[in-house]
Amino acid sequence: MRARELGIAIGEGSTGPRNAITDVDGVLVGHSTLIEGEAIRTGVTVVVPPEVPLFAGCHRLNGNGELTGLEWVRESGLLTTPIGITNTFSVGVVRDAIAARSADDDAWSLPVVGETYDGFLNDIRAQRVTAVHVESAFAAASPEVVEGNVGGGTGMICHQFKGGIGTASRAVGGHVVGVLVQANYGRRSRFRVDGVPVGELIGDRVPTPSRADEAGSIIGVVATDAPLLPHQCDRLAQRVGLGIARVGGTAAPTSGDLFFAFSTGNGGLAAETGELALRMLSDGEIGPFYDAVIDATEEAILNALLAAETMTGRDGNTAYALEPDLLAELLRRS
Amino acid sequence: MRARELGIAIGEGSTGPRNAITDVDGVLVGHSTLIEGEAIRTGVTVVVPPEVPLFAGCHRLNGNGELTGLEWVRESGLLTTPIGITNTFSVGVVRDAIAARSADDDAWSLPVVGETYDGFLNDIRAQRVTAVHVESAFAAASPEVVEGNVGGGTGMICHQFKGGIGTASRAVGGHVVGVLVQANYGRRSRFRVDGVPVGELIGDRVPTPSRADEAGSIIGVVATDAPLLPHQCDRLAQRVGLGIARVGGTAAPTSGDLFFAFSTGNGGLAAETGELALRMLSDGEIGPFYDAVIDATEEAILNALLAAETMTGRDGNTAYALEPDLLAELLRRS
Amino acid sequence: MRARELGIAIGEGSTGPRNAITDVDGVLVGHSTLIEGEAIRTGVTVVVPPEVPLFAGCHRLNGNGELTGLEWVRESGLLTTPIGITNTFSVGVVRDAIAARSADDDAWSLPVVGETYDGFLNDIRAQRVTAVHVESAFAAASPEVVEGNVGGGTGMICHQFKGGIGTASRAVGGHVVGVLVQANYGRRSRFRVDGVPVGELIGDRVPTPSRADEAGSIIGVVATDAPLLPHQCDRLAQRVGLGIARVGGTAAPTSGDLFFAFSTGNGGLAAETGELALRMLSDGEIGPFYDAVIDATEEAILNALLAAETMTGRDGNTAYALEPDLLAELLRRS
Amino acid sequence: MRARELGIAIGEGSTGPRNAITDVDGVLVGHSTLIEGEAIRTGVTVVVPPEVPLFAGCHRLNGNGELTGLEWVRESGLLTTPIGITNTFSVGVVRDAIAARSADDDAWSLPVVGETYDGFLNDIRAQRVTAVHVESAFAAASPEVVEGNVGGGTGMICHQFKGGIGTASRAVGGHVVGVLVQANYGRRSRFRVDGVPVGELIGDRVPTPSRADEAGSIIGVVATDAPLLPHQCDRLAQRVGLGIARVGGTAAPTSGDLFFAFSTGNGGLAAETGELALRMLSDGEIGPFYDAVIDATEEAILNALLAAETMTGRDGNTAYALEPDLLAELLRRS
């Protein structure tokens, strides 16, 4: 069940065919999900661009998190590897695994790997993610994006409901913008769906997890086929936060709200000599892309929530899903 | 008429006594308003801290604007002058006037002066603001903040209604956080009041100004008496953008969305030798301040809109107010 | 007298034809110099690019200074006006004057204007620079760059010698990189010429000005005809600081060391619709441009020092020149 | 053999007792060195602060490298773990190992781990560093800093001589500033020792390694017991680059020149509630700390070069030491 199936359409724009980040041609998403025994609830998600390097940018809304590789992204304006997302204690293993697979014999690699904290449902300190899981995620990479309790999103919690992976997209003037989130942030009391204070309306009708309500983060990845330069990608990345704000996020102090954006609109950037011929979307055309990022982010978070199912894990902790029927009922009444 | 008088209360927090940035002890706001003939509709607003230097920070949501002095704020973590806000073509004169008044004989001064563009209602190229108006604004500085068509906000437009100066505050654990905005940004179609899509509901019932809908900006100033360090002020400043997002702002490409935050919680920072004794709010206490900034920003924008009155200026251009009665009616029905 | 005429050639690269920022085709430099009575020793320098907008970037080494317009440069990657440099108390008037001259009727303008502090020799608080002087500087703009006690550099002091405006350039693989500095920073004790500790060797043989030795700043402007994107311009801008370090600068706490870089290699960037066709220097080719910026900065500072002449101003204060003969003698002996 | 033993003293300041980063009370440095067979030449270095969190800051001179954890450092102003330095392909394993050892059961950890590339001498793609080596480095942590071919510096190359780990310190007004570098950057032709063009003078007298001359990086860590706030730590971090510039570094495009600074001058920062009492060095006192960082960086690089010994590794590749006798001879003659 996705937001659109409930009649929720954020903003006025139309979606891409899949309403997913993979509407950007050549972008694939793969998951490796680890659900083992009573306490392992984690995984790895990879966002695979059609080629590297590509122009890219980033934004830090709140930095209580990790997204490796950003110094090189800021310096070079380039995404030079696929992107990984996992749990807080496994960033390193995923990062090294991507480094190992992507580099030539005499080259180095500075992978972009992010995380959110799944320690409420997952025995995060067991550090069960390995390079094998990273390979599985790549092997599973596909244009069809599975949402909810999968990959890096397996054990995540969002606005005190079960969270996880979500995606959405918008068509913009012959181009497409897609957003993928690993949503693990937020308080229920501020949760809104297209402006409706659903969190307040639900209150305790759905049990809240016992963890500290602020403990969480959100990683947002934006892709577009519009030919954006690096500084334009930065601008898109910052707009992810505006979408989160509309859902009710506050970029809480314990949250790692880190956003990344890349453009497939210019290729062949690996050339080491001479000059490259590029295209650039004029700044006068970029406004609708901001709307698209904001709206797609809001919808991606809702998709994550709606796809996620109630999960019990470590220490018997349970995070309850936002049931689509309940949401539909509340929106009808508002 | 302010938002609270219409029964609109953003968020769960309580306001300070004046629901204004001047609830922070010692902070004053003064305006000098220039309404002359058919085409001059502009002015200067000053936010006067109780002393300088004070710890401060800033954030750029979209940089199509000017806020001088930020290199020194970023380097030193200090606000070293009062803050001025005016129109785009008069930033310089206000900046030099503040420099002239605040410096010792052998010192220099790096004033913080921002702007938004009032060229639809004001003959901005006439550059009518002078140092005399800056002095008038300081002379008028008071704890009572006049809102709407005053000072730097005189000729501003917000969500395609008449905009201007607005303010609000929140009490947070024995401290107060106040926000003042010069609101001149946004499209009507995205305008929301506490989640309700008021802009859509109004549509053409109120005429829209003929200017390019994206042409605009918002300057946000945050003050608090909590003892925040400079990097904590940066964090508050970034949250202003989350409040704007909730009202429907997208940080459009032609918008100068620049935010500033300062703390009066540590004084005596002018000492040039030895060590200073400071206090710092622990990070574990800072979350409610984020909520406060987001909520107060949303309410400050609404206050600016509700206080502003329909204005005709340059070339007979008119910006129409968001009439409180109309808003109240729409909210009742939603 | 310039450094090369004394046999000083920094680095291995060759210079452009004029060994000046104006070796970048179409770049002009103009000065307006105010030397009046006993106490006015100031002025305005403009660096005029062949067109605007152009891709640009910047870097803050130490932010105790002003360089307006940087928020828009960082956001858009564009220089949209000529660049002005003046004294600390006149940044505003120069900024507003450039805004007034460069904007269309319904456009705004965010000029880039920097400053250093000339209050030792100049009655800076008199704020004698006006829009007329800005116009004079533009009227005087030429490919021939006058150095030393001219324009914004009129009253400046560098490594406790008389400083001012200097420039140099380097040819790099069919392109050229030029640097212009307004040099007003540094202690004599750390001053070096191509590694030789000239400052120590001179010691008190040349009188030192009585002002606080750290009070000063340096503005550096880099231009190149290589087709650099904005983030590549940022990289060039940061290398200005490495050149300053070699001369003995420490980016002292009271110094405003702000650097700007722009590229003329892509034009036609004003288009507001559609896509722009661009060229980009591949990153594999950019290394020699870094060497060029570092070396040209070092040489531009030396040129400023060698062109500057002993000056007496406000309160009878005197800054003494680094006499070329003395420098030549010291280098011969080292 | 260290620089001082050759009579090389950079700058006018005096050193701390060990002339090492460990002159900052409570700071320890440990190495784990992996030299195995013909092709493994790598390791891990840890810099262990006396407690965490501590105020900290950072600077990117050139971002072709990794230093994890910086988003949290920038956001919170805090170093929350010990610092690791290793090779490019092992950042992740070191990062996860430090995360595992430092976190409480329900806490997360965002370690700061940097790298430089040792692939010329080391079979870097073998990824031989494990969590065990990280533990060994911690077990070996001591106030006595071994320099040269040790720990993370084992296989490094600097100015085309054998490089590695080096350190130095300066006493500043009752405080101390220490710098540790993992030096793996630079071309010989630009190499200078206290201004003397030693690289040019040596030329081919010492064989140059066959790798691309620009392939390299430098990580710099600054510690001080002066009570600096986070933004003041940023300022110290940026000055590391000025020291590198004096030695002849250009922050080449393929270099990861990332700098970190922390202050032990305020402790007890882990408090999650209430207000913390802090001390802050006044900005008027900070200038000599900049000199200290610049000078200590220059000397730390020289110490790394002088301690390093000629090494042969992967594919029989050899990097030759800068022999102290040769350097002494060249300096005598200059």
Buried b (16+ CB within 10 A) or exposed e, D308-331: beebebbeebebbbbbbeebeebb
Instruction: Check pLDDT > 80 for residue D211.
Output: no
pLDDT class for D103, splitting at 50, 70, 90? low
Tokens standing for A334?
Answer: 């508002």
How high is the pLDDT of residue C95?
98
- Sort out which chain B residues have CB atoms less than 8 A from D272's CB and list them: 282-285
Q: Is A313 exposed, middle or buried (0-12, 13-18, 19+ CB in 10 A)?
A: buried
Q: Which residues contact B148 (CB under 8 A, 6 or more apart)?
A: B162, B164, B165, B166, B304, B306, B307, B308, B309
pLDDT class for B212, splitting at 50, 70, 90? low
**% of chain D residues with pLDDT over 70:** 99
- Sort out which chain B residues have CB atoms less than 8 A from A284's CB and list them: 253
CA distance D196 to D209: 22
Distance spanning both ends of chain B, measured CA to CA: 21
Q: Is A174 at the interface with chain C, CB within 8 A?
A: no
Average pLDDT, chain D: 96
D278 and B282: CB-CB below 8 Å? no
Nearest to C250 among D189, D253, D291 (CB): D291
Average pLDDT, chain B: 96
Instruction: Check pLDDT > 70 for residue C134.
Output: yes
pLDDT in tens, B133-192: 999 999 999 999 999 999 999 999 999 999 999 999 999 999 999 999 999 999 999 999
Given A217, A225, A263, A295, the catalytic residue: A217
Q: Is B270 at the interface with chain C, CB within 8 A?
A: no
CA distance D111 to D79: 8
Q: Hey, of B60, B68, B121, which one would you mutate to test binding to chain C, going by the most C CBs within 10 A of its CB?
A: B68
Taking residues A279-303, what's their average pLDDT?
97
For the CA atoms of C152, C155, C160, C164, the dihedral, rounded to the nearest 10 degrees, stands at: 30
pLDDT class for C210, splitting at 50, 70, 90? confident
Instruction: Check pLDDT > 60 for residue A288.
Output: yes
For the CA atoms of D116, D117, D118, D124, the dihedral, rounded to the nearest 10 degrees, stands at: 120
Angstroms from A15 CA to nearest CA on chain D:
32
How high is the pLDDT of residue C212?
60
How high is the pLDDT of residue C214?
61
CA distance B14 to B2: 15
Nearest to D227 among B77, B273, B275 (CB): B275
How high is the pLDDT of residue A212?
61
For the CA atoms of A293, A298, A300, A305, the dihedral, rounded to the nearest 10 degrees, stands at: 170
Residues 52-111 of B with CB under 8 A from A: 61-62
How high is the pLDDT of residue B213?
58
Residue with tokens 């320098």: C45
Taking CA–CA distances from B244, the nearest residue in chain A reads A242
Instruction: Check pLDDT > 60 for residue B2.
Output: yes
Q: What are phi and psi of D219, to 5 degrees?
A: -100, 130
CA distance B83 to B66: 13
Contact assessment for residue C89 and residue B101, using Cβ atoms and an 8 Å cutoff: no
pLDDT in tens, C267-317: 999 988 999 999 999 999 999 999 999 999 999 999 999 999 999 999 999
pLDDT class for D108, splitting at 50, 70, 90? confident
* SS3 of chain C: CCHHHHCCCCCCCCCCCCCCHHHCCCCEEEEEEEEECCCEEEEEEEEECCCCCEEEEEEEEEECCCECCHHHHHHHCEECCCEEEEECCCHHHHHHHHHHHHCCCCCCCCCEEEEECCCCCCCHHHCCCCHHHHHHHHHCCECCCCCECCHHHCCCEECCEECEEEEEEEEECCEEEEEEEEEECCCHHHCCECCECHHHHHHHHCCCCCCCCCCCEEEEEEEECCCCCHHHHHHHHHHHHHHHHHHCCCCCCCCEEEEEEEECCCCCCCCCCCEEEEEEECHHHCHHHHHHHHHHHHHHHHHHHHHCCCEECHHHCEECCCCHHHHHHHHHHC
CA distance B91 to B193: 31
Taking residues A224-249, what's their average pLDDT?
98
Q: How far from chain centre, in Å, is Cα A166?
A: 7
How high is the pLDDT of residue B105?
72
Q: Is C283 at the interface with chain A, CB within 8 A?
A: yes
Q: Which residues contact A48 (CB under 8 A, 6 or more apart)?
A: A27, A28, A29, A30, A82, A83, A138, A141
Instruction: Check pLDDT > 80 for residue C211.
Output: no
* Residue A101: C-alpha distances to residues A28, A134, D249 (Å): 17, 10, 31
Tokens standing for A17?
Answer: 């065919």
* SS3 of chain A: CCHHHHCCCCCCCCCCCCCCHHHCCCCEEEEEEEEECCCEEEEEEEEECCCCCEEEEEEEEEECCCECCHHHHHHHCEECCCEEEEECCCHHHHHHHHHHHHCCCCCCCCCEEEEECCCCCCCHHHCCCCHHHHHHHHHCCECCCCCECCHHHCCCEECCEECEEEEEEEEECCEEEEEEEEEECCCHHHCCECCECHHHHHHHHCCCCCCCCCCCEEEEEEEECCCCCHHHHHHHHHHHHHHHHHHCCCCCCCCEEEEEEEECCCCCCCCCCCEEEEEEECHHHCHHHHHHHHHHHHHHHHHHHHHCCCEECHHHCEECCCCHHHHHHHHHHC
- Please give the DSSP secondary-structure letter assigned to residue D238: H
Q: What are phi and psi of A219, to 5 degrees?
A: -100, 130
D253 and C192: CB-CB below 8 Å? no
pLDDT class for D308, splitting at 50, 70, 90? very high
CA distance D109 to C68: 39
Instruction: Check pLDDT > 90 for residue B104.
Output: no
Instruction: Check pLDDT > 70 for residue D42.
Output: yes
Residue with tokens 């890349």: A262
Angstroms from A142 CA to nearest CA on chain B:
32
Nearest to A271 among C77, C277, C282 (CB): C282
Instruction: Check pLDDT > 90 for residue A223.
Output: yes
**% of chain C residues with pLDDT over 90:** 93
Instruction: Check pLDDT > 60 for residue D213.
Output: no
Angstroms from D165 CA to nearest CA on chain C:
22
pLDDT class for C17, splitting at 50, 70, 90? very high
How high is the pLDDT of residue B103?
65
Instruction: Check pLDDT > 60 for residue C176.
Output: yes
Average pLDDT, chain C: 96
pLDDT class for A213, splitting at 50, 70, 90? low
Angstroms from A330 CA to nearest CA on chain D:
34
How high is the pLDDT of residue A141?
98
Q: Hey, of D280, D282, D286, D290, which one would you mutate to test binding to chain B, going by the most B CBs within 10 A of its CB?
A: D280
CA distance D231 to B74: 8
pLDDT in tens, B25-36: 999 999 999 999
Q: How far from chain centre, in Å, is Cα C236?
A: 14
Buried b (16+ CB within 10 A) or exposed e, A5-27: ebebebbebebbebbbbbbbeeb
Q: Hey, of D242, D258, D285, which one would you mutate to test binding to chain C, going by the most C CBs within 10 A of its CB?
A: D242
Which amino acid is present at C47?
A: V
B65 and C100: CB-CB below 8 Å? no
B76 and D275: CB-CB below 8 Å? no
A100 and D127: CB-CB below 8 Å? yes
Instruction: Give the residue with greater pLDDT, C62 vs D215.
Output: C62
Instruction: Check pLDDT > 90 for residue A260.
Output: yes
Q: Which of D219, D255, D309 is nearest to D33 (CA)?
A: D309
Taking CA–CA distances from D69, the nearest residue in chain A reads A66
B230 and D229: CB-CB below 8 Å? yes
CA distance C34 to C24: 28
Buried b (16+ CB within 10 A) or exposed e, C250-272: bbbbbbbbbbbbbbbbbbebeee
A257 classed as catalytic = yes
Q: Across the A/B interface, how many CB contacts are shorter than 8 Å?
A: 75
Q: What are phi and psi of A322, to 5 degrees?
A: -85, 100
Q: Which residues contact D15 (CB under 8 A, 6 or more apart)?
A: D4, D23, D168, D169, D170, D171
Q: How far from chain centre, in Å, is Cα C32?
A: 15
pLDDT in tens, C66-124: 999 999 999 999 999 999 999 999 999 999 999 998 767 778 899 999 999 999 999 99
A102 classed as catalytic = no
CA distance A75 to B179: 34
Taking CA–CA distances from D226, the nearest residue in chain B reads B275
Taking residues A138-155, what's their average pLDDT?
98
CA distance D259 to D240: 7
Angstroms from A31 CA to nearest CA on chain C:
33
Q: From the CB of residue D197, how many other CB atoms can be counted at a distance below 10 Å? A: 17
CA distance D88 to C65: 38
Instruction: Check pLDDT > 90 for residue C133.
Output: yes
Taking CA–CA distances from D258, the nearest residue in chain A reads A71
C276 and A280: CB-CB below 8 Å? yes
- Sort out which chain C residues have CB atoms less than 8 A from D254's CB and list them: 287
Taking residues C44-70, what's their average pLDDT?
98
Task: Say whether D12 sits in a helix, a strand or coil.
Answer: coil
A96 and D89: CB-CB below 8 Å? yes
Residue with tokens 């000063």: C216
- Sort out which chain A residues have CB atoms less than 8 A from C272's CB and list them: 282-285
How high is the pLDDT of residue C103?
65
Contact assessment for residue A134 and residue A34, using Cβ atoms and an 8 Å cutoff: no
A91 and D95: CB-CB below 8 Å? yes
CA distance D243 to D235: 13
pLDDT in tens, D161-205: 999 999 999 999 999 999 999 999 999 999 999 999 999 999 999
Taking residues C203-219, what's their average pLDDT?
84
Q: Hey, of B72, B96, B101, which one would you mutate to test binding to chain C, going by the most C CBs within 10 A of its CB?
A: B96
CA distance C11 to A35: 61
Taking residues C212-235, what's their average pLDDT?
91
Crossing angle of helices A230-247 and A287-307, in 10° steps, is: 50
Taking residues B11-26, what's their average pLDDT?
98
Q: Which of C106, A226, D310 is nearest to B209 (CA)?
A: C106
Q: From the CB of residue D287, how many other CB atoms can be counted at a distance below 10 Å? A: 19
Crossing angle of helices D230-247 and C230-247, in 10° steps, is: 70
Instruction: Give the residue with greater pLDDT, A39 vs B105.
Output: A39
